[in-house]
Each structure stands twice: as structure tokens, then as C-alpha cells.
Homo-oligomer: A and B are copies of this chain.
Amino acid sequence: MAHLNILLITCSIGLTIVAAWMPDVRPDLQTKQDKVLAHFIGNSTDYFKILDHNDESVLVGAKDVIYNVSLHGLREIGRLEWHSTDADRELCALKGKPERDCHNYLRVFARRPNGEVLLCGTNSYKPRCRHYTPVEMSSEEAAPAGHAYALRYEVSRDVEAQGLCPYSPAHNSTYAFADGQLYSATVADFSGGDPLIYRENLRTEQYDLKQLNQPDFVGAIEKNGFVLFFFRELSMEFMNFGKAVYSRVARVCKNDKGGPYNHGKSWTTFLKARLNCSVPGDFPFYFDEIQAISPVVESGSKSLVYAVFTTSVNAIPGSAVCAFDVDDILAAFEGDFKSQKDSQSHWLPVEREQVPKPRPGQCVEDSRTVSSIAVNFIKTHPLMENAVPAVHGRPLLTKVNLHHRLTAIAVDPQIRSLNGAYYDVIYSGTDDGKVTKFINMLTTHPNSTVDRLKTVVISEMQVLPLGTPVRDLVISSKKNSLVVVSDGSLVNVPLHHCTLIVDCLGCLSLQDPICAWDLQTHECKNLATSQHKFGTKTYLQSLNTTKKAAASLCPHIPSAETVSFVTMAPPPTEEQKLLYSNVAAAAGNQPSLEQLPSGGDDFGLNKITLTSMDPDDIMPNLNDPQKSTASVDEIRHASGSSYLLITFSIFGIFMLGSCVGVICVKANSHMRDSQMDESHRNHFGKPIQFKHQNTGKDINLLMGSNPYATTQKTPNLDLEKDRSHECKNSTEHLEKELPCKTSTLMKVKRTYI
């Protein structure tokens, strides 16, 4: 014992307090405004819930209606309305619920194999389900104008839905539909105090805190003859240390038929295990509150469920994404049971000898033949000893931000990169309207035989208005479309931004496995749609290198060729120029003094703009009206070092202005001189006027290069328009047909001068 102490103490001696791990996503991540392709707007009391989706459309449960919304343009292509009766609404109000909740919020949708549709709603706090039978339609009926795919169903049954559908539209309920049966995880009473996992006749025990203790259900999946439920709940085993919420996965067998005798309405196979999403270490740091899961993703040989976790609501806000192998989950249910001898004891593993044989909780042919002892054991020992470990034993992403936490997740599985590797591209929404996109890659460290997990954050996009929580994410790979769902809106943004990038470095810097730079057409292409052949050398991609390395990959065009590239394009606006100088300074890339404008160089400012950009470190800047959200470090650097730059720039402008003044006066006086006008001696007292007279080609050209000529131009707010800065490293584009706004002007000017 002493020796153990020795080791540990000597380790901790003199230890400077350092962060043993740092979040993968830093709070100062540069968030960009996403390009919104389409909206579907309701209001926040609609409590939108995605009930089903395919590559063409989504079904959105809302207030008194279910919408069928096309993924292309988010247009409503059908709806089915179902209002509560007046009697139900009045009763709801009488029970003290606010009017806005006394509606029928549609929360459950399922298609039966026979084509019937099951739909359940809160029905003003008196949940009901309806069975709809499809109606044969004539061809004219089937496609009324504007409702090409209208739902045409008739109600065949209308039944009470206690235990199938929540009472409140905001309750964290979930369900799975398997083999024609609905497995629901919700509450079975008006007040929400009776949580349950239910399937026709079978339910978890009422008010049994060992089975479910104030759960918040986040998702359910069917797999290998089981239905798995993911939720967070108050941890019974922790109770002695105050309250704590733990994350769980529970499972039931699909062929569970209930127990014998008086156990006929009880699950004989309900078991749960803790989900371990923690940063490993001497003192593991747990993200304890699961918030959302993805559907099962077939990732290589594994079936994975990706999940979002957060710290407790009173803790320092932190979020993580963990993946769980379905095999690991199922293995946990084959391990030891956890039990508490009495209320004053620790929760400890049940010794193998004390577990009844055959092992309780297994999926058996007919659970009604199981012994009462086994059923009782499973009822009193629903918790497994071992937590389910996360894949790689650590989160795939960790995030610490005082302003938001992750709330939702979607996975675009098995995207093939240029080198043939497959990546699950993960999208995770935040409670303030952002979507973080990232991948994970395993790198083998030179000094280690262990693969190291590396998180590559591709982007963080502001999709919803700041402060609006993302409730769900729907991916349609086929349509290159990500639908971001809030309580009252659907917003469609691009899944990938490859084709919006116009320069090689920008394309490589994305680090998106689906984006590659086409060396032949000079475009950033989406590999999924570009009919390329893997292994050909006409594409570039750089997923796990520094930006410097990425820059070195991009082709360098000899400068001799640049002179021939003359395209007429407007000069950069002053805003853009300042932006560039800031970015240049931010990148720690101050122009050298040789590059700075001297008093005698009329084009000093342009020169800064055009020569001071180091292609390294410049992230592609997609549609960024909020350039101000640049990373803190960048801004700090910029505000420090750009003063010098700006000072010199201003000096340049000043001198430029002086010259213009001189030239104007001279030209003017030249004209007047030539006209033998002798009145110039009085000119000094007059206000100086720029008359833009046609005093010669040189002057015109200078005025054309006057950056203030375009000051009134509004800042670019649209992605396509704002390509000017993509051209800042102009040499890359010289072979291209795309107009580059900068650089060309200088050429023109030089040609003239």
C-alpha cells in the first residue's frame, strides 16, 4: 500500500496545474454563416418533430398537422390535419394547461407492412392514435395542382394512446417501430410522473426507480432481435452522493411475451447499462447527459450509434460526441448484474453463483415459460455492472463553450476520400443554432504502436438564428442537403461546400473527405458527384496535413504567365482591402518593408493587397457577413500588427491623394495655361473641386484605381458574389476562366503605364 502511495504521490509532487486534455473544438472556432438554400417556416410553438424521412422528403409532426416536405426546396408537398375535438381542448384548458399546449401535436408515425399508417398525437393532453388506410385514387386525384404527393388516407381506427405517445409536446419521448409493433418510451400519465417503456401489454414497472428514474429518452433503434432505448436518468447507484444524471442504454427482446402468471404484463428482458462517454485519464472526466443519437451507422465492420453528450446543466458547459458499437452494447447485457444489498450498501456486481440459472433476461422462445424467480431477478436487477465503453475509449469530439452545447447529431456514413479511405462525416447541432461538421481519423504516431484518434473539424456553421436550438438534423446525401430542424422551422443548407470554393488551397483546407481539387478543370469538386476514378492523379486532397503542406501541394503557376491574364473586373472595395490587410496581419504575415508602399509609389495600397497574402493559413471564407466572428487569436493579432500596416497604408493613400491633388491642379492649370487663362493666382482661395473632367487617359486610369470609387458598394452577403477574396492568391487562378477581381487591375494599370 505504501508503495502504491509512493508512486502516486511522487507523480503529483510539484505538479503544475495543467489541463490534462483540451477540447477538440475551441470556443474561439471561427463560425461562418451558412448558405441557406431553403426555409420551411412555422413558429416555435409548432414543436416540429421529424417523424420519417427518405431521400426525397421529410415528414414533420407539428401542431394539429403532419407535413410532407420535399427536401428539394423545402416545399410542402402534402399535409394531413388532425385537430383535437373541442371537448378535448376544453378539458385540457380546464386541467390548467395553457391554450397553446391544448392542441394535437403529432409525435408518432409508423408505416405498417400492410400499407396502413399509424399516427399518434398528444391530442390536448389526452393522447390518441389513428390508423389510416390508404385510399385508392384516380390519376387526377392523385396529383392535384401543387400537391403532387398529397397524403390520401382514411381513418380506419381511432384509439386511446396512453403509453404510446406523450401528453406534452415537449416531452423527451421516443419510439421504434419493429415487426409491425410500436415500442414506445414515454410517460403514461398527464403529469409526466409515470415513465415507461411499452409495447402492447408489456411495460416497465410503474414507479420502480430502479428501472426508470425520471428518464429523458433521446432515441430508440432496432437491432439483432432487440430494441435499444437511449436515455438519461437520475442515477440510483450514485444517490448517496447527491443527485447525478447518468446516460443509459436499455434493451428488450423483440420476442418478449411477458412473464408467467402475474408477470404477464412485465418485460422479462428489460436491462440497462451505463453509457461511458468520458475523457480517459487518472481521473476520467464524464460527459454524463446524453442528448441525442444517430441511427445505426454501418461503419466498416462495425454497427455504430453516434451520440451527443453534455455535462450537467449546472456544470461548466461541455459537450462531446461518442460512438458506441452495437456489439459492445449487447455485450454489456451479457456481463455482471449490479445490485445493492440494502439501501445503505454500495452497488456491487452480483456474484455469478447468485445469478439464477438459466441466466435471466435472455431472449427465449416463449418468455411465459421462464420461472418467476428469473423474472423477479430481472425486475430487481435491471442495471448491468459494466458501462458500455465508447469506441476508441474516448469521445470523438469534445467541446467547451460557455455559450452553447451540442443538441443533435446526424452522420453521413462512409464517405470515400480520394485515397480510398472511408470516413463517417458527423454533423452536430448546438442549442444556439450552429452546426459543427467533423471527421475522425486514426493516425499512427511514429513513436507509438497505438493508433491515435484525431478529430478534424471541417466547419462550424451558423445555420439558425443565434440562440435557436437545433432539435434535429436530416441528411440527404443524394441532394447534397442538410436539413436543420428547430422548434419552428426547417432550414436547408449544403451538406458539402466543395463547389463553393474556387481556389486550390481553399479546397484542400476544408479537409473534407468528399472535396477534392480537380487539377484539370481547376474546380473544387464533390467526389460523390464528379464521376472521377479513384487513384487517378488529376485530383488533390489533403486531409491530415498542415495548411502549409496543403499549400505546397497546390500547383504553382510561373509568374511569367500571369502577365497574359487580363480580365476586366471591378477593383476590390475598400472593405475588402481592409479585410485582406487584417487577414494578412492575422496570419502573422506582415508584409516586409520592401512590399510596403513608398511615398512615390502610386499603387502602394494595391501592392499590399496583392503581395502580402501568404497562401498559407488562409481559410476559405464562405459567405461571411460576420467576418467579425473570426477567431480571437486572429483578431488579436490583427488588431496588434495591422496598425503598422494600416499606418503605412494610410500614408500611401495620403501620398496618392497628394499626387491626385497635384495632378488635378496641374492638369487643370495645364488646361488653363494652354487656354492662356491668367486667373490661376486667385485659385488658392477657392474650394478644391474634382470635376472629373476628361483631362487625359492617365488621370482617368488613376481615378479608376481609386478605391473610394466603389466605397458605396454594399458588402457581399452572398456566397457566389463574394469570390473576390478567393482570388487573393492570384497566381492559382491564372489559368482559369473565373473572373478574379483583384490582381487583374494592376495588370491593366501596368499595361497603360
Contact = CB atoms under 8 A, between A and B. Distances in A.
Interface of A: 1-6, 8-10, 12-23, 26-28, 168-172, 187, 191-195, 207, 209, 214, 216, 238, 240-245, 279, 281-285, 291, 310-318, 341, 344-348, 400, 402, 405, 407, 431, 469, 574-575, 578-579, 582, 600, 626-630, 632, 635-640, 643-644, 646-647, 649-651, 653-667, 669-670, 673, 680-681, 683-684, 687-688, 690, 707-708, 711
Contacts of A575: 643-644, 647
19 contacts: A2-B207, A5-B192, A13-B192, A16-B431, A20-B313, A240-B347, A344-B345, A578-B646, A628-B640, A632-B635, A649-B650, A650-B707, A654-B656, A654-B660, A656-B657, A658-B658, A658-B688, A660-B661, A662-B688
Given A5-B192, A400-B400, A662-B688, 11 more contacts: A8-B214, A9-B191, A10-B192, A13-B171, A19-B313, A285-B315, A654-B656, A657-B659, A659-B661, A662-B665, A670-B681
Given A168-B13, A639-B628, A657-B656, A317 B191 contact: no
Contact of A635 (B2, B639, B690): B639
A17 B310 contact: yes
B315 A28 contact: no
A337 B4 CA distance: 28
B661 A9 contact: no
A10 B669 contact: no
A677 B431 CA distance: 76
Nearest to A1: B207
Main secondary structure of the interface of A (DSSP, over half): mixed
B688 A214 contact: no
Number of copies: 2
A628 B588 CA distance: 14
Nearest to A707: B650
A651 B711 contact: yes
A387 B678 CA distance: 97
A17 B647 contact: no
A725 to B, nearest CB: 14
A695 B636 CA distance: 44
Given A2-B207, A666-B684, A669-B669, A400 B316 contact: yes
B22 A402 contact: yes
Nearest to A167: B13
A14 B683 CA distance: 75
A687 B242 contact: no
Contacts of A637: 628
Contact of A19 (B317, B630, B632, B707): B317
**Which A-B residue pairs are the 4 nearest by beta carbons?**
A14-B170, A657-B657, A661-B661, A6-B193
A635 B316 CA distance: 25
A532 to B, nearest CB: 39
A658 B281 CA distance: 66
Contact of A170 (B5, B13, B18, B23): B13
Contacts of A400: 316, 400, 402
A454 B658 CA distance: 56
B653 A17 contact: no
Contact of A14 (B16, B171, B315): B171
Given A27-B402, A632-B28, A661-B659, A687 B653 contact: no
A658 B702 CA distance: 13
Contacts of A172: 13
Contacts of A341: 344
A279 B317 CA distance: 13
A314 B382 CA distance: 31
Nearest to A706: B654
Contacts of A2: 191, 193-194, 207
A469 B241 CA distance: 33
Contacts of A243: 282-283
Which of A405, A655, A658, A663 has the most chain B CB within a 10 Å cutoff?
Answer: A658
A659 to B, nearest CB: 6
Contacts of A670: 681, 684
Contacts of A169: 14
A227 B23 CA distance: 41
A681 B6 CA distance: 93
Contacts of A17: 291, 310, 313, 405, 407, 431, 469
Contacts of A21: 314
B708 A654 contact: yes
A347 B345 CA distance: 9
Contacts of A688: 600, 658-659, 662
Contacts of A193: 2-6, 9
A579 to B, nearest CB: 7
Which of A18, A291, A579, A666 has the most chain B CB within a 10 Å cutoff?
Answer: A666
A681 to B, nearest CB: 6
